Amino acid sequence: MSETMQAVRNHGPRDFRLEKIEKPLARRGEVVIKIDAAGICGSDGKCYAGSAMFWEGKPAYVKPPVTPGHEFFGTVVELGEGAAEKFGLKVGDKTIAEQINPCDRCRYCRSGKYWMCEVHDIYGFQRDTADGAWAEYMRFGPNSRVHKMPADIRREAGVLVEPLSCAIHAVERGEIQLGDTVVLAGAGTLGLLMLQVIKLKNPGQIIVTDAKPERLEIAKALGATHTVNVKETDPVARVKSLTDGYGTDVFIEASGYAPAVVQGIDMLRKLGTFVAFGVFGEKTTIDWSIIGDRKELNIHGSHLGPYSYPRAIDYLYRGVVRSDLIVTSRLPLGQFQQGLDSVLAGKGVKVMLDPAA
């Protein structure tokens, strides 16, 4: 008789349920882990709320029923045939898989750009091939990008490896130069992690914008030069006043708030760089003549955290990037709904689920 486990299952918008399902078994080339910690991402909240970007595509991106959760790490409990040799793991090791489960067959995978895989199965969104981590156990597919972690890494650090890898990639897309002014829109989990990575680039000043005073206070504690509450102050005017009227060198959008796109384009100096990272629940409109004719801007997208996991693990383990101010809520798996409600209400920063609690 098959063993069972507890898992949250996504059956559709606003229909996530805690259920008993079959515990995964490791097939050839696969790894099964016991989840140490899993995070609730802003995209999980938007998926739960029914955002069109997840549900109304053709075909729809989310394929329920599926176990959510793409921020996680855990302990190896089973290795399928060949997996130990392939991934350099043994039972008892701490490990993590990147959020994408690539096909390894499309033109992007074959050229090393696996994070843009055409099939694009992300753990926590597609049933069968990519069940996620809001469960007691999880299975990594044979094409997963798997990384070993220090045995004594703290849970609050380990659960941030996925978002920090995304933060590292986004900051690198900004091509920040010594002495640059950098504006970071959004002081949620990703923004606060990006802030700490931006500091490693030695910019001249870092200006963080957000609508929540408590998050701006954390940004100050983590090294922001200036903070701007967008509900109280015109962010474009403030940035211009701090840059002799020219505007910022680099703008990184990490809020997922559509009006921030327009603000970013307006506050960039000529020949500046815009990095689009935020996941938006609605469309935005911009005068594209500003990008070309008036300013000749560089527009860079940023997706996932390719080739960044080893650095993310190292930075969090050594404390180069702090986790203590970011993980603000710890809940047992059975209280996932409370965590989702907090994310949708913008309370705190990162919610961590503990399946063992």
The DSSP code sequence of 306-349 is TT-HHHHHHHHHHTSS--TTTEEEEEEGGGHHHHHHHHHHT-SS
Cβ contacts of residue 340 below 8 Å, gap of 6+?
Answer: 16, 40, 44, 45, 48
pLDDT in tens, 105-155: 999 999 999 999 999 999 999 987 789 999 999 999 999 999 999 999 999
Report pTM: 0.97
Residue 206 lies in a domain: yes
CATH of the domain at 185: 3.40.50.720
**Same domain, yes or no: 136 and 17:** yes
* pLDDT score for 161: 98
Residue 294 lies in a domain: yes
**Same domain, yes or no: 25 and 155:** yes
pLDDT over 80 at 96, yes or no: yes
pLDDT in tens, 250-264: 999 999 999 999 999
* pLDDT score for 38: 98
Residue 314 lies in a domain: no
pLDDT in tens, 206-215: 999 999 999 9
* pLDDT score for 1: 57
**Same domain, yes or no: 124 and 180:** no
Residue 45 lies in a domain: yes
**Same domain, yes or no: 344 and 215:** no
**Structural domain for 236, as ranges:** 167-301
Average pLDDT over residues 8-12: 97
* pLDDT score for 45: 94
**Of 285, 301, 317, which residue is a domain's last?**
301
Task: Please give the tally of structural domains in the chain.
Answer: 2
**Same domain, yes or no: 191 and 250:** yes
pLDDT over 60 at 301, yes or no: yes
Residue 313 lies in a domain: no
**Same domain, yes or no: 185 and 291:** yes
**Residue 90: Cβ-neighbour burial (10 angstroms; 0-12, 13-18, 19+):** exposed
**Same domain, yes or no: 254 and 137:** no
SS3 171: helix
**Same domain, yes or no: 287 and 339:** no
**Same domain, yes or no: 64 and 144:** yes
* pLDDT score for 200: 98
**Same domain, yes or no: 124 and 42:** yes
List Cα–Cα distances, 50 to 14, 59, 334, in angstroms.
Answer: 7, 15, 21
**Same domain, yes or no: 132 and 237:** no
Residue 318 lies in a domain: no
User: pLDDT tier at 336 (50, 70, 90 boundaries)?
Assistant: very high
pLDDT over 90 at 58, yes or no: no
**Same domain, yes or no: 11 and 142:** yes
- 117 phi/psi in degrees, rounded to 5: -40, 135
Please, where are the H alpha helices in 20-160? 42-49, 52-55, 83-87, 107-110, 155-158
Residue 317 lies in a domain: no
User: pLDDT tier at 53 (50, 70, 90 boundaries)?
Assistant: confident
Cβ contacts of residue 271 below 8 Å, gap of 6+?
Answer: 295, 296, 297, 298
Residue 308 lies in a domain: no
pLDDT over 80 at 2, yes or no: no
CATH of the domain at 147: 3.90.180.10
* pLDDT score for 56: 84
pLDDT over 80 at 183, yes or no: yes
